[in-house]
Amino acid sequence: MKNIFLALFAISQFAVAQNKSKIDTTNVEKLDDVFITANRTETKRRETPVAISKLSAKTINETKAVAAYEIINKTPGVLMVNLGNEQNMMAIRQPMTTNAYYLYLEDGLPIRPLGIFNHNALLEINQFNLESIEVVKGPVSSLYGPEAVGGTVNLISQKPSFYPTFKFGLQADQWGYKRIQAAAGATLGKIGFHIAGISSLQENSWMTYSDYNKDNLNIRVDYNINDKTRLISNTMIGKYYSDMSGGVNETDFYNRSYKSTSDFTYRKSDALRTRLTLEHDWNPNANSYVTVYLRDNKLGQNPSYGIRWSATKNPTTATGEINSNNFKSYGVIGQHTQKFNFWNTTMVSGALYDYSPVTYWSYLINLKATLNPGTPGQQTVNKYEIVAEQPETKLANYTANIYNTAIFKQFSFSPIEELTFNVGARYDAMKINYENALDLSTGNKNYNKFTFKTGVNYNPIKNAGFYGNYSQGFSPPNITSIFRAKSGTGGSTGVPAAFYYNLKPATFENYELGGWMNLISNKLTLDYAFYYMDGKNELLSVRLEDSSTDYRSAGKTNHKGIELGFNFRPNTQWNIRMGGTVAKHRYIDFQLSDNSADALQNLGGYEMPQAPRWSGNSEVSYYPNWLPNFRTAIEWQSVGSYYQNQINTAKYKGYDIFNTRFGYKYHNIEIYGNIMNLTDKLYAYNLSRGNTANAQTTYVAAAPRTFLVGIQYSLCLKK
């Protein structure tokens, strides 16, 4: 990465020499009430009938985040769960989950193709390349397609600056984390560019076996062919490798003995995304674009979550797995936006074609389990060791070609100034042609779905508005779930491998009411939303006695809650932000067991596990007049209690933690510091427990108090 940063510096100096006499024509007024994600076009908040939040460049810059969750958790109604080393799970109108109910976009284009969801997709993001983040809560499948169910996160990249700019920074903490980052941009005649790179390294942290390193480079080049036509190129190259320390048992957690039970588990990723967009303005009321893109991802794992161990069957042995998931995507998406004078109507029409070949294999490894002292049947593991790898014992082995074709259309119109209607629909046709080497079968799977949404905004006065919407969501099963051999079949079991060919797509219906207000001369803003969402055939991971996972398409689930965001800026020195959600997620009809000997057959009426009734993030920021260019803030992250298991017999009390941030800028140099977990509270980011009587809780331990310090140099040359 050293060469990358030297190149960035050299390019910035060349841009300085070429642009000293230029005049900035891109310094436009920043409008925080304008969004792109909700309607695929720039739309004012008062015309957007969904719950949507925007995290601005100022928020991103002041957060100085190590990982994306530190920024995204500032969104009311969002809980992005840190799993360590930039890995995560998400909770937006869903329990904390790794299921495919969230869509992650990069400048409006999904980071992953349909059917290959990865809850860790955001670890590929370059935090130093972000201009803003928009989060839509609730289904937007009618615009963006499957997986846009619980929420959609759109990461919007930096654009080329007109004046030459250059930034360079370093940051580190006391636990062995270090990051170097640089960015440069300028406009040279008709060509503008922006380049940003980061290199992160974690060594010898508070948790054993938790090192990682990450290198990312983003390059954007804009070519203004003329005043109506633009050609835009975006490329991301990323490499990531991380130890996977996994969770700890209850005794080690409360003793703060942060010791991994394995020293061989890992996750590694090589990612390339590149796209080329041609935009054309036909006239002030008509605009079109077409984007061609390529994705190339290689993901390899020896995952800690893949370890299978039973305290009662044969506690000194266990199994694990090594897997590889590689795919490419070749796609094109086109969109046309047309505005009409009649009723101030806007029509958005588009189509997408995506072809993604994928290969996946997974094989068994045998492990030895060294136990901690304890009562037989209730012991815990001190350490796992690899005894033998069995490449011939495949748990999954398939190739597939995924074809996704979609068309979408959306209308918005205002018969009167105070009233705006929004109607949208999309049809997705997903086809999977596969070859499964384990049962020597070939075939195809088809998941086709029409999704619809409609909404209305009513703005009776300038400073207040209300909205309501009905929207549908749709998520087909991930193909890694379909072609995974069922527990107790295949491999060396002697039982022919059985698969999840009959998994059904999950469908959702969401009903929502909300509104916004600007009060006290815009010093006080308030956003709120009430939602009620029914799910059918949700793909749920059922944890069995030996910690293995079985997949089921649930009968029915229900999700309902209230989301609230509050911001008060009494003067230029103070800003108070509060946000959170009160929610309840429960099973309506879910057959947990078909065994008549089991006491609990159906989870109907039970709360879903890992679903806090409350979560929120609030912050008080201070910018003293008596010390210009200084900032400080204290943040409160709160997560309420939730059940650890499906049968609701064990609960976690949740946690409240505080973080503080401060920074001072002197001319072109900024010095900053973050103190995370200010009170050094003992808590877990996440925990889970099996349904059996002797099941034990696994804790994903949170970091002790952490001191992050950094320095950043920024240069912008104007005439």
Indicate if the pLDDT at residue 595 is higher than 90.
no
Q: Find out whether 73 and 53 touch, Cβ atoms under 8 Å.
A: no
Q: Find out whether 615 and 580 touch, Cβ atoms under 8 Å.
A: yes
**Would you tell me how many other CB atoms lie within 10 Å of the CB of residue 55?**
21
The Cα 239–Cα 86 span in angstroms is 13
Q: What is the pLDDT of residue 38?
A: 85
Q: What is the DSSP string of 329-345?
A: EEEEEEEEEEEETGGGE
Q: What is the DSSP string of 237-306?
A: EEEEEEE----B-HHHHHTT----S-SS-EEEEEEEEEEEEEEEEEETTEEEEEEEEEEEEEEEEE-GGG
Torsion of CA 125, 404, 108, 419, to 10 degrees: -140
Residue 598 pLDDT grade (very low, low, confident, very high; cuts 50, 70, 90): low
Indicate the pTM of the whole model.
Answer: 0.92
pLDDT digits 0-9 by tens, 75-84: 999 999 999 9
pLDDT digits 0-9 by tens, 3-22: 444 444 443 344 334 443 33
Q: What is the pLDDT of residue 13?
A: 40
The Cα 449–Cα 475 span in angstroms is 9
Q: What is the pLDDT of residue 664?
A: 98
For range 310-339, the mean pLDDT: 93
The Cα 702–Cα 713 span in angstroms is 31
Indicate if the pLDDT at residue 197 is higher than 80.
yes
The Cα 40–Cα 289 span in angstroms is 12
Q: Find out whether 337 and 346 touch, Cβ atoms under 8 Å.
A: yes
Q: What is the pLDDT of residue 691?
A: 80
pLDDT digits 0-9 by tens, 520-562: 888 999 999 999 999 998 876 665 555 556 777 777 999 999 9
- Tokens for 67? 């990982």
Q: Distances from the Cα of 527 to the Cαs of 203, 515, 532, 579, in angstroms?
A: 42, 6, 17, 9
Q: Find out whether 72 and 78 touch, Cβ atoms under 8 Å.
A: yes
Residue with tokens 């974690």: 202
The Cα 252–Cα 264 span in angstroms is 20
The Cα 136–Cα 147 span in angstroms is 13
- Tokens for 614? 């409350």
The Cα 39–Cα 455 span in angstroms is 12
Q: Find out whether 319 and 367 touch, Cβ atoms under 8 Å.
A: yes
Residue 516 pLDDT grade (very low, low, confident, very high; cuts 50, 70, 90): very high
For range 614-627, the mean pLDDT: 97
- Is 669 strand, coil or helix? strand
Indicate if the pLDDT at residue 289 is higher than 50.
yes
- Long-range contacts, 656-660 (Cβ 8 Å, 24+): 656/681, 657/681, 657/683, 657/702, 658/634, 659/634, 659/635, 660/632, 660/633, 660/634, 660/635
- Is 47 strand, coil or helix? helix
The Cα 688–Cα 511 span in angstroms is 30
- Long-range contacts, 377-381 (Cβ 8 Å, 24+): 377/311, 377/312, 377/694, 378/311, 378/694, 378/696, 379/311, 379/315, 380/249, 380/250, 380/251, 380/252, 380/311, 380/696, 381/249, 381/261, 381/309, 381/318
Output helix, strand, coil percentages for the chain, rounded to the nearest 5: 10, 55, 35
How do strand 102-106 and strand 151-157 relate by DSSP bridges?
parallel
pLDDT digits 0-9 by tens, 438-450: 999 999 999 999 9
The Cα 160–Cα 166 span in angstroms is 11
Nearest-CA neighbor of 526 among 562, 471, 577, 594? Answer: 577
Q: What is the pLDDT of residue 548?
A: 54
Nearest-CA neighbor of 275 among 325, 224, 221, 238? Answer: 221
Q: What is the pLDDT of residue 385?
A: 96
Q: Find out whether 197 and 1 touch, Cβ atoms under 8 Å.
A: yes
Residues paired with 161 in a beta bridge: none
Nearest-CA neighbor of 455 among 349, 526, 529? Answer: 529
Instruction: Look at the chain and count its residues.
Output: 719
Indicate if the pLDDT at residue 24 is higher than 60.
no
Residue 8 has φ and ψ, to the nearest 5°, of: -60, -45
pLDDT digits 0-9 by tens, 345-388: 999 999 999 999 999 999 999 999 999 887 776 788 999 999 99
pLDDT digits 0-9 by tens, 632-667: 999 999 999 999 998 899 999 999 999 999 999 999
Lowest mean pLDDT among 112-121, 184-193, 551-560: 551-560
Q: Residue 2 class from Cβ within 10 Å (0-12 exposed, 13-18 middle, 19+ buried)?
A: exposed
Question: What is the 8-class DSSP label of residue 161?
Answer: P
**Number of C-alpha atoms within 13 angstroms, CB side, residue 529?**
31
The Cα 200–Cα 211 span in angstroms is 11
- Long-range contacts, 15-18 (Cβ 8 Å, 24+): 15/164, 15/184, 15/185, 15/186, 15/188, 15/193, 16/164, 16/186, 16/717, 18/164, 18/186, 18/188
For range 41-70, the mean pLDDT: 93
Which domains, from first to last, does the chain contain?
Answer: 2-716 (2.40.170.20)
- Three-state secondary structure along 368-411? EEEECCCCCCCCCEEEEEEEEEEEEEEEEEEEEEEEEEEEEEEE
* 375 Rama class: left (phi>0) / alpha (psi -120 to 50) / beta: beta
Nearest-CA neighbor of 327 among 277, 273, 406, 275? Answer: 273
